[in-house]
């Protein structure tokens, strides 16, 4: 059966994540689809519907290809597929930067149309007013500092942060601004390990590392990277826990061979004129039995 996503009492709240500071690390993964959310829900504390979906599932070069509608559609799928994890949906580029009013309107639409527990946006000092306004509207916010994928074009590429004194000072200002604005946690991405560790000790909200430090209060990876499904270059900070590329490729090769040799479909995959179970039960199916499509 599908998880009961309708009961908010089953969900880990943003507030509960906030209380994990300095305790058992928060386990986070991205999710974009219903079946993946179902598979991950029992193992993680937080599912992020990241704007990385634009690259991972839609083939865009950067996360700038994500739209508000795209994030909402994938957020709805992840909510349907999960029951326990705190679900956070990324605010895509262009949906919050202009003004706090724009940010609140976009956040309200995301939460209202998905039922997610929080939203995430990128930036520190420059978006602190937006974070504060969204939090004041009753919507929890996850921050994101360090390497910010939405800014890679203006930044001149994916550049690791924290390698100069000036940049380290900027990271501290961003972390403090996000904390003061009321975020319940903050992602630290692509940042020198010692700097990310120091930032974690410096602020009172949980830090979620990705290409940062093992001392962060939690970790997150893009699920497709983690299971070896990424078809392009995998970042250095990723550990692959499976090799689904090979599994899928081998399965497709076996399927193609059987179709061409006419060994698939076999007798067990086609339908007779009358189902034997229907004959045995007078055409009636008992509650809970699977029908011929494999559905209940």
Active-site residue set: 189
Helix (H/G/I), strand (E/B), else coil: 205? coil
CA 181 to chain centre: 23
Rounded Cα distance, 140 and 133, in Å: 10
Backbone φ and ψ of 193, nearest 5°: -55, -50
Rounded Cα distance, 106 and 109, in Å: 5
DSSP per residue over 22-77, as a string?
A: TSSPEEEEE--SHHHHHHHTTT-SEEEE-TTHHHHTT--SSGGG--HHHHHHHHHH
Distances (CA, A) of 259 to 249, 262, 268, 270, 293: 15, 5, 15, 14, 20
């Amino acid at each position: 059966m599908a998880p009961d996503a309708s009961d908010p009492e089953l969900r880990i709240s943003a507030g509960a994540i906030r209380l994990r500071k300095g305790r058992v690390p928060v386990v986070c993964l991205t999710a974009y689809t219903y079946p993946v959310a179902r598979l991950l829900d029992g193992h993680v504390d937080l599912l992020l519907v990241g704007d990385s979906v634009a690259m991972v599932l839609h083939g865009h070069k950067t996360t700038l290809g994500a739209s508000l509608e795209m994030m909402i559609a994938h957020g709805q799928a992840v909510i349907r597929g999960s029951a326990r994890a705190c679900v956070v949906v990324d605010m895509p580029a262009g949906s919050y930067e202009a003004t706090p009013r724009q940010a609140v309107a976009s956040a309200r639409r995301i939460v209202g149309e998905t039922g997610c527990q929080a939203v995430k946006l990128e930036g520190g000092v420059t978006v602190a007013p937006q974070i504060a306004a969204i939090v004041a509207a009753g919507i929890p916010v996850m921050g994101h500092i360090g390497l910010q994928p939405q800014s890679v074009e203006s930044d001149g590429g994916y550049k690791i942060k924290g390698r100069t004194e000036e940049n380290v000072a900027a990271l501290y200002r961003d972390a403090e601004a996000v904390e003061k604005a009321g975020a319940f946690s903050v992602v630290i991405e692509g940042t020198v390990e010692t700097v990310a560790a120091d930032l974690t000790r410096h602020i009172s909200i949980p830090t979620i590392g990705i290409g940062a430090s093992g001392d962060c209060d939690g970790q997150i990876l893009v699920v497709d990277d983690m299971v070896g499904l990424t078809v392009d270059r995998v970042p250095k900070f990723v550990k692959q826990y499976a090799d689904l590329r090979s599994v899928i490729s081998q399965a497709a090769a076996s399927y193609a061979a059987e179709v061409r040799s006419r060994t698939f479909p076999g007798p067990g995959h086609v339908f007779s004129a009358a189902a034997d179970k229907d004959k045995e039960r007078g055409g009636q199916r008992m509650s809970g039995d699977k029908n011929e499509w494999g559905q209940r």
